Structure 1
Amino acid sequence: MRSKRNKKILFILVFIISIALVFSSCGQSSNKVSSNSVNKNNKNKQVTIRVQFWAGAEDRELWQQIAQNVTKKYPNISVKLETVDWNTYWQKLPAQVAGGTAADVIGIHWTKAHEYALRGALLPLDNYIKQQQLDVDDFDQNMFNELTYKGKVYALPYDYGVMLVFYNKDMFDKYKVPYPTNDNWTWNDMLEIAKKLTNPTNRDFGFALDGAWWSNMVYILSNGANYLVNNRTQVSFNDPKAIAAIQWFADLINVYHVAPTLSDLTANSLGDRWYAGHIGMYYDGPWSIINSKKNAKFNFAIAPKPLSPTTGKRTDYVQGSGFGIYSKTKYPEEAFKVVSYFTSKEALTLLAKNGRAFPARKSVQQAYYDGVKVDGLQHAMELSLADSIPAYITDNWTETDNFITQNVLQPIYFGKAKAADIIPKYDKQVRELSSKVVK
């Protein structure tokens, strides 16, 4: 009896355990299906990534193609472009960032990368780069480094360049002046050429310049000076070589009269005067070639910048732009997919072939030269890039730039002050302002 009873109890226990295992298995299976379903739903969730940056009508058409290509590659991602002109963009962006309404992806200029990283507006991209095994060695490393801050990457570059000399071939022909094709020409040679191209009766000028701080940085570097001191924590150009360089270019307006005054350029912008065919030469970057090809009604070509007669160099800094991710985005992974594609070989090849801007990826640069087809461009770019450096800046760069332009450079270029007098006068203020902690 006891044996039968024990067998019965054992049978019941086995039955109960079996039932429990079945339900447990079903539960686990159900959980697995549910988990897989959630992952699948997350992966396929339709997301719209807003991308804001500055662009003209021609640029936007190309970027729209790139945005559509993102969706082809990632069907769950739609890209909404939000573009405005340069000035409007930088007027609106600070308020958008502060108010939490900035787009998921933000266009960032090299002069703004540190500022927006410091304010916590941009996400570090290092982990995303590592996860996606993105090839960052293909980027020009000077430009890539300009979008990093304290060892972290905050944006990926799409274009960059150095300053070149744009010259009006038709004006040179008109005044029977040889083209500036000598790689060893100097500032003094440029001045003599500008004199021959200047004709006040026709309102023709041999040269033009805007007096902006970023332009003067080029003059300073070429002349063997620097604009940063104390381990690059402060701006200072109270150096005889820097002072001489700035005064030399200001004298083109106020002493030699081979360049229009800044007042004249206020009424008729440098670009408008150039497009109208009244400027023989001026400094600009490859980003302006597409507009010159569209708007200039004359033949133009590109030459390398002239050498400083003091140093025999044309040292320049690399400048450009990229895309970063807004720190408050709800979709950081999807936003990075957009950033990585917007800066990919495929995207930059499309931009390069259409002459949009010089691509930040080295592997795509020949496509740009082949697509743009402007006399002298490739030679001038390669020669200038060989003598280029990263554009180092301080944290409080924008405010410092505005202060220098208004209080130091404008009086010099308007002919109201000499560089040797006004630069030392404001040196202390410039140093203190440039090293101010940004909050």
Structure 2
Amino acid sequence: MNNHLSRRGLLGLGLGAGSAALLAACGDSGPSDKVTGGQNAGPAAASYSGPNVTLAFWNGFTGGDGPFMKKLVDQFNTEHPNIKVTMNVYQWADYYQKVPAAVATGNGPDLGIMHVDHVATNAARGVILPLDDLAKTLNLTEGDFSPPVWNAGTYRDTRYAIPLDVHPLGLFYNKTVLEKAGLDPAKPPATADEYMAALDQLKGKGVAGHWATPFPFTGQMQFSTLLWQNGGKLFDEQGTAPLFAEQPGVQALTWLTDLVKNGYSPKNVAQDADVVALRNGKNAFNWNGIWTINTLREDKALQWGVAPLPQIGTQKAAWAGSHQFVQFKQKAKDDNKLTAGKVFINWISQHSIEWAKAGQVPARKDIRDSAEFTALTEQAAIGTQIDYLQFLPATPGIADAMATVDTAVNEAILLRKEPAKALADAAGKAGQILEGNRKKYGA
């Protein structure tokens, strides 16, 4: 596992360089070992009336979100006496190793959760099954979710995943620090001018307002957000060419490095030191993931808030991850299990307001529009970004190439390379990785 990723990165994301390491550890042997997932895809149904079945459900919810999912599983089992779901929980690092190996030996789980950047890779390797039948049976469309998160679950025009949630970045802020600097904590900055004006006012009071982290978690996520806000892309739509070294990427990384150069951020910020500083009143703003809500709630004395990310570039955009439901290829096709599994996926999706309480934004629009979700003030604030969230292209092995972006962000924010040079060097390496992936997974 990449040592730049924090403890929380392991528990909650499995992204970037970490994903590359995890997938490499699975020992994929290329397209010669591929099994077409559709060969044992089963029928979809809104209900199940067959014989008793037991379904193995694997995920990586080892943190505070685990008990919320366990509660949902228990409720599902109570309401469906002919379906028993057993939940096995692993660290995400172990999970992404165990699942392909278990499927390859015919001992895989029936159901699982995957981060959206793993879906295409596991679809190409024949580890997961198509779910178009489920979407059609239940009349699910992007209008029931949102276009970005719905489309992220497809690979080569086939749906392999049903979104459970999104977990975007948001603007977390320390209300006490803002008040001491003469800023209104009820009106966090929403534009580039407002944000820089706030940083200037904080700097005048001796506060470095935005600590720029050089680590993938969350420095790369901030860079990706700013690149998209400047109208750029990390890769082309097919995931065959890196685009992050073009002008929008240089603008994005320069904005972050200028925070350090101009005294808005200290140098050499350690992993997670930015959010620790927010909690300790040493900085005002922290661009971090929605999972930070539960972290900050632990500090009862802390006065804090969260808002959508400010629009620094020409358009709104925000980095996000997404947990998505998948079904795994089985050694022997069992239509009863496949149908029951689809019933489980649909039921959890419909009851995902309980999952929102674990610190997530439900993917389903009707849940997000409910009064119950609106009452979850912090999650709802971050959830307003749903229609302009961004995800990586659905390309097998794309996370391998993202490892080069992690390196570029690290080198630039630590002031070891100028942004343009760091990104150009990374793009050269990323191009080689993408070419290798085309050969590995098939064109």
User: SS of the counterpart of 2:270?
Assistant: helix
- Counterpart-to-counterpart distance in 1, 2:134 and 2:380: 34
How far is the alpha carbon of 1:273 from its aligned partner?
Answer: 3.8
- Counterpart-to-counterpart distance in 2, 1:367 and 1:355: 17
Match among 219, 224, 231 for residue 224 of structure 1: 231
- Counterpart-to-counterpart distance in 2, 1:210 and 1:96: 37
Superposed CA offset, 1:146-183 (max 9, x none): 01111111111111154321111122123333337266
- The one-letter code sitting in structure 1 at the alignment partner of 2:288 is D
Matches within 5 A, 1:39-54: 45-54=51-60
Q: Is residue 2:327 matched to residue 1:322?
A: no
How far is the alpha carbon of 1:118 from its aligned partner?
Answer: 1.0
Aligned to 2:5: none
How far is the alpha carbon of 1:385 from its aligned partner?
Answer: 3.7
- Counterpart-to-counterpart distance in 2, 1:199 and 1:428: 41
How far is the alpha carbon of 1:69 from its aligned partner?
Answer: 2.1
- The one-letter code sitting in structure 2 at the alignment partner of 1:328 is Q
- Counterpart-to-counterpart distance in 1, 2:236 and 2:150: 23
- Counterpart-to-counterpart distance in 1, 2:433 and 2:152: 21
User: SS of the counterpart of 1:111?
Assistant: helix
Which stretch of structure 1 is more off in the superposition, 365-374 or 243-252? Answer: 365-374
Match among 128, 135, 152 for residue 134 of structure 2: 128
Superposed CA offset, 1:91-128 (max 9, x none): 55454455554422121111111111111110101123
User: SS of the counterpart of 2:310?
Assistant: coil
- Counterpart-to-counterpart distance in 2, 1:308 and 1:171: 22
How far is the alpha carbon of 1:140 from its aligned partner?
Answer: 2.0
How far is the alpha carbon of 1:428 from its aligned partner?
Answer: 2.8
Match among 159, 166, 175 for residue 169 of structure 1: 175
Structure in which a larger fraction of residues adopt helix: 1
Q: Is residue 2:270 matched to residue 1:265?
A: yes
Aligned to 2:85: 79
Matches within 5 A, 1:48-63: 48-63=54-69
User: SS of the counterpart of 2:88?
Assistant: strand
- Counterpart-to-counterpart distance in 2, 1:65 and 1:72: 11
Alignment check: 8 A CA contact 1:54 1:84 kept:
yes
User: SS of the counterpart of 1:226?
Assistant: coil
User: SS of the counterpart of 1:80?
Assistant: strand
Aligned CA distance change for structure 1 residues 82 and 43 (closer, same or farther; 3 Å): same
- Counterpart-to-counterpart distance in 2, 1:238 and 1:44: 55
Match among 228, 235, 246 for residue 239 of structure 1: 246
Aligned to 1:279: 283
Match among 181, 193, 198 for residue 193 of structure 1: 198
Alignment check: 8 A CA contact 1:349 1:367 kept:
no
Which stretch of structure 1 is more off in the superposition, 411-420 or 281-290? Answer: 281-290
Alignment check: 8 A CA contact 2:172 2:288 kept:
yes
Aligned to 2:412: 412
User: What fraction of aligned residue pairs are identical, expressed as a percent?
Assistant: 18
- The one-letter code sitting in structure 2 at the alignment partner of 1:283 is W
Superposed CA offset, 1:55-82 (max 9, x none): 2443222212211222133212212222
Question: TM-score under structure 2 normalisation?
Answer: 0.76
- The one-letter code sitting in structure 1 at the alignment partner of 2:178 is F
Q: Is residue 2:156 matched to residue 1:150?
A: yes
User: SS of the counterpart of 1:121?
Assistant: coil
- The one-letter code sitting in structure 2 at the alignment partner of 1:112 is H
Alignment check: 8 A CA contact 1:48 1:77 kept:
yes
User: SS of the counterpart of 2:213?
Assistant: coil
Alignment check: 8 A CA contact 2:209 2:284 kept:
yes
Gaps of 5+ in 1: 1-41
Alignment check: 8 A CA contact 1:168 1:300 kept:
yes
Superposed CA offset, 1:277-296 (max 9, x none): 43311112434323332346
Report how many residues are paired. Answer: 383
- The one-letter code sitting in structure 2 at the alignment partner of 1:193 is A
- Counterpart-to-counterpart distance in 1, 2:97 and 2:263: 35
Match among 357, 362, 373 for residue 359 of structure 1: 362
Aligned to 1:106: 112
C-alpha RMSD of matched pairs (Å): 3.1
How far is the alpha carbon of 1:429 from its aligned partner?
Answer: 2.5
Structure possessing the higher relative contact order (Cα contacts under 8 Å, 6 or more residues apart) = 2
Alignment check: 8 A CA contact 2:103 2:329 kept:
no
Q: Is residue 2:297 matched to residue 1:290?
A: no
Superposed CA offset, 1:189-246 (max 9, x none): 4244235445998xx6411343423332111011122222375432222212211211
Question: TM-score under structure 1 normalisation?
Answer: 0.77
- Counterpart-to-counterpart distance in 2, 1:249 and 1:279: 16
